[in-house]
Structure formats: structure tokens, C-alpha cells
Structure 1
Amino acid sequence: MNRILFICTGNTCRSPMAEGILRKLMAERNLTGYEVRSAGVAAYDGTPTSDHAASVLKERGAEGPPHSTFLSQPLIDWSDLVLTMTSSHKRHAIQLYPAAVDKIYTLKEYVQDDPAETAKLAELESFVSELQLKQALAQPITDAEQARLRTLGAELPSPDIADPFGGPLHAYRRCAEEIEACLIKLVTKLQASE
């Protein structure tokens, strides 16, 4: 897995921070042979990276992409691993590029190292897929199924990294800390696989 693609909504905040922070962590640990990019499911090509995201990256001695990139088939084809910031980004990417399902994960899901939590997450995703199929077939979702969905969801920490877009600088710093904690696990995982 030498080509890693991060995905968020507009590719101006979270995914550029993930791209820049991962490059810095890889350089610090002499982890070579990897390429890192980012894109957005609703990005407008060429939109500048958020000022706060750029400031947070600079504070950390990292540098992200200067502008946004729209998620496209060539980027999906280029990547070996696609890491999204939220489960909705993951679903969106899989709906657009179903052949890539085996390489698309949320960042938190991919670095998860608790087997019990991983099993619960797999159970939740399977159940959500069943419910989506029922909806597609115009079948009603029962009260019991809705209750089970709530229960499964409540048993897990959020798989999402919240969007700091439009928020104050400290929100971007918190977001970067959360991303970096996941990326440290990612780097450890990549080093273990070498």
C-alpha cells in the first residue's frame, strides 16, 4: 500500500491536514516509498486550503496541498488505500466507485486496534447495508430494526472526524490532534507491514 488517498468533503480542511501531517510523520520516521494525496467528494478543483488548516499545518512544521482536488476515477485508480474522514464520505466514495470497495475505509476504522470494537463496527456496517437494501427495495424498516441500529451505534465511538470548517482556529487544532493520533497508528501499522 504505497499510495494513500485521504478524502473529506471540500478538500480544504481535514484531508489536506491529514496529507500534510502524514508526510511529516513519514519523514520523521524515515518511512519512504509512499505517496500521499487528498481529495474531496464535493470539492471544487483549485479552491485554496483553508487559512486555519494551513496555519495549523505550519504550526506543526507540515505542509499540505495548496488547493483542493475533486475525487475522481483516476485518483481512485491511483490509490492503494483510500482513507475517509467520515463514514458518509466512505459510503459516498463506495457508491461512486464500487469496484474500489476493498480499499476504502474511514481513517479511524483502518487504524482501529481493538478487536472487540472492530467486530462491533463490522456488525454495524453489515446491518446498515441490510437496511439500505431494504430501503432500495421499498421495504419498511421496523421499529425493532431502528432500535437495534441505535443500540449498535451507541456501543461504538464515532467513526468520524468532525469538520472544523468555518470554526475558530482552536477547532482546527483539535481536529489536527485527532487526525494526528490516528496517523501515528497508521505509520506504526505501515512500518509493521514492511
Structure 2
Amino acid sequence: MIDRARIAAYSLRAMTRPDPLYHVLFVCTGNTCRSPMAVAALRQALGSDADRVAISSAGTSAWDGQPAARFAIETAQRSGAVLENHRSRRLTPEMAGEADLIVVMEPAHRAALATLGIADDRVHVLSEWPEPGEPTLEISDPFGQSAEAYEECWRRIGRHVERLAVVVREACRSRSA
């Protein structure tokens, strides 16, 4: 479970930067499915507070410039989110270094960040904000699967992101206090 004191500590670190925004970075594998959907879901969950947060995404094995997967675009669109303009980015140490909070989709992504020298308490698996009874620590990659797999992925991401949004709002309030 997430430690709210650690989130507050991220805010203290971020306050030393001239940038007033709180930075959240979502990480998956190809940056065409899960992490772009998570960005869209967090923007929706934050509502008017989204303008206080810089939300971005990257992939551990991404090819720069790829569009979001068609089913990811269609799934997000049905919920009022827009992914048409998304272009994939390969994760770099600089991206990770700018983030106040790094949210990965599965434990393997945490390990990939460690190989970049990012193995600190800013890194969390999205499912650390669990739904009671959820059995797995990862958000499965729907890449190459059916539209239904993308729908299920969107629902799972959304449930976790709703809880994450509470934590992000608290961090933003801590920064502005």
C-alpha cells in the first residue's frame, strides 16, 4: 500500500524546483496502450486539478513517434478521453529524473527503471492502489489482443487511477501550502 508520507516527501523535493507543476510519469513497455490510457484516465480523474499536474508517459522498449494503438484510442474515446495525438517515447533517465512520481504497470518496469539508475521511492506499480480482492500486481498489456481486452485494461487502470488521483491531489496541496 502507498505511504502518504512518502508522497508528501516527493512534494517537498519538487518544491525546490522552479517548475510549479507536480510531475507524474506513467511507464509501460511500448507506450502505445497502457501508459497513454493511464495519462488520459488521470487527467479525467483530476478534473480541474489536472492543470496543476504535468502528466506524461514513456515505454521501456518504445519506438519514438508511434501512435497509440487503435483499440486504445477507441476505448479511451468512448469514455471521453483523447489519445489521437499521442506519440510514443522511449524512457530516458532524464524523463525519470524530472518526475515527482513514477507509476509503472508491472514489476518488470520497476526493474527496467533500476537499470537506468532510478530505483528510489518515487517508483510505484499502479496496482499498489489496489481494489479489494485484486489478485495481481500488474496491469496486463492488451497489445495485439481484442477490443474487449483494451476495455478491461481501461477499466482496471481507471479503478487504480481514481485512488491515485487522491494521492496526487494531496501532493499538489502539500506543495502549494
**Which band: TM-score by shorter chain?**
0.7 to 0.9
* Corresponding residue of 1:70: 90
**TM-score computed with the length of structure 2 as normaliser:** 0.78
SS state of the match for residue 97, structure 2? Answer: helix
**TM-score computed with the length of structure 1 as normaliser:** 0.72
SS state of the match for residue 93, structure 1? Answer: helix
Identity %: 31
Q: Which runs of 5+ in 2 are unaligned?
A: 1-10, 12-21
Question: How far is the alpha carbon of 1:112 from its aligned partner?
Answer: 4.3
* Corresponding residue of 1:15: 35
* Corresponding residue of 1:26: 46
Identify the structure with bigger relative contact order (alpha carbons < 8 Å, sequence gap 6+).
Answer: 2
Question: How far is the alpha carbon of 1:31 from its aligned partner?
Answer: 4.8
Give me the whole-angstrom Cα distance separating, in 2, the residues matched to 1:51 and 1:170. Answer: 13
Q: Which consecutive aligned stretches of 4+ in structure 1 deviate over 3 angstroms post-superposition?
A: 29-32
Matched residues, number:
151
SS state of the match for residue 23, structure 1? Answer: helix
* Corresponding residue of 1:53: 72
Which of 1 and 2 has greater Rg? 1
Distance 1:16 1:189, change over 3 A: same
Q: 1:36 aligns with which of 52, 55, 58?
A: 55
Give me the whole-angstrom Cα distance separating, in 2, the residues matched to 1:189 and 1:44. Answer: 31
Greater helix percent: which structure? Answer: 1
CA RMSD of aligned residues (A): 2.0
- The 8 Å contact of residues 94 and 104 in structure 1, kept in 2 or not, is answered as no
Question: How far is the alpha carbon of 1:158 from its aligned partner?
Answer: 1.2
SS state of the match for residue 115, structure 2? Answer: helix
- The 8 Å contact of residues 13 and 164 in structure 1, kept in 2 or not, is answered as yes
- The 8 Å contact of residues 31 and 191 in structure 1, kept in 2 or not, is answered as no
Per-residue CA distance 1:49-108 (angstroms, 9 max, x = gap): 10000111111111235210000012111111000000011111122223x522111111
Q: Is 2:142 aligned against 1:164? A: yes
SS state of the match for residue 102, structure 1? Answer: coil
Q: Which runs of 5+ in 1 are unaligned?
A: 118-155
Give me the whole-angstrom Cα distance separating, in 1, the residues matched to 2:65 and 2:72. Answer: 16
